[in-house]
A and B are shown apart, each in its own frame.
Chain A
Amino acid sequence: MTGHEAQEQFVALLRERFGVAEIPDGNYPLIDARHHFELARVLKEEFDYRIYSFVVASHHLATADANNDGADVEAAHYEVATGVRCVGAPAHLASWRVRIELDRAIPTLFPLFAGADWQEREQYDLVGVRFDGHPDLRRLMMPEDWEGHPLRKDYAIDTACSPWR
């Protein structure tokens, strides 16, 4: 199977089983948060995408109402991108994005991929997104008693901190 065929297979899967209509240029489609775990499970168990590649969370502030007409406004949200890869040729990377509101949590992928343990902890630590069902969601990079999540857009890079405790 070539990379192109694997990509077609992934697109077909999304369209048929998860009702994703629009896939921009074939990759990083936006998936509903309810399908997040199921998609990962199907990819791992039915299509053998066993390598846990990455999870990236980013914080998006609410967009301003430019035209003052109520449209073009998006609430503040997190965007979590996940990528899994199949072993051996063609090593196709299946990746998707999920958007959730700031007060909601996204289901964890730990039951499927053991690597989700630390990767999700890191995204919680740095961005603040919570993962439902994670066995041990605590800070990874920052000290345990740190306040705030550094990679959020409302956290200034020169926020005062006291390194001596």
Chain B
Amino acid sequence: MTSLLHGLIWGLVIATVLLTVAVFSIWFERKFAARMQSRYGPTLVGPAGVLQLIADALKMLQKEDIIPQKADPVLFRLAPPCTVIITLAAAAVIPFDENVLAADLDIGVLFLLAVSGLIVFPVWIAGWASNNKYALLGAMRAVAQGISYEIPLVLSAMVPVVLAQSMRLSDIVSVQAETHWFAFWPLGPGLIAFLIFFICSLAEANRIPFDIPEAESELVGGVTTEYGGMRFGLLWIAEYLHTLISSAVAAAIFFGGWDGPFAPGLHWMVLKTFAIFFMIFWIRWSLVRFRSDQLMALCWTYLLPLSLLLVMVSALFVHYRVVNA
């Protein structure tokens, strides 16, 4: 009973906090993008436009619910909420502070990667159920991209697991707190593994330069073509949530999570997450997107062999007691 209550409360807390943070990160992204483009961004609604997203959410809620006649009635309605639900489920194992996390699973990293892998399904179903050729193209691209980039993602996430010799996320962070952050020691495997993990998270979350599933200039709306109003809002929020959670995970397993002097652990966790999140914005508003075959080539010919090599190298490091001596 207590575990059920514990789970419910934690679930509510995580869902509320993460959704609010995701919504305000959209505001931050819009201001940041605007400044990069010599303009102001939202300025009218609330001080510095902070309440703009509330206004947008209210607008989306009161829009007409248009469902194409030939779209699959069940799957069309099911896909957007599923994206959000599955993304939030992955946040259960993120360590926010020492002993402050929803579920301290033995198989933390495995759970995280498995659940993130499920996110491809609702995106694909959204495109398929729309009964629209553009959505179909977007869905097929999403599947190809999603399942291809999962492999280097998993392998690069294995590097901290091997170095810490545990899949439990709180263990990984504790080991980093005691020794060094894995991004910086051992130098080489850690940093490259972080970069590969970073690139693959961009691809999994369909962020530019990997946003071919919803390539607006090619496929009108891609997967989201037929969706309007709050359904589109959910798909959109899910993308931001996924990015946020990937940043938090990267901060935890590569940059020591809540480890840091002077300030409480939660502050460091938030700082590191947002540093990585900021990098993701910066890349989005500077680069153009890849073509689908170039994207596949990047994954299979560069990232995959490199991540395999890194796992082997980090295993050798541990074997010869360079780490955890």
A and B in contact, CB less than 8 Å: no
Residues of A bordering B, CB below 8 Å: none
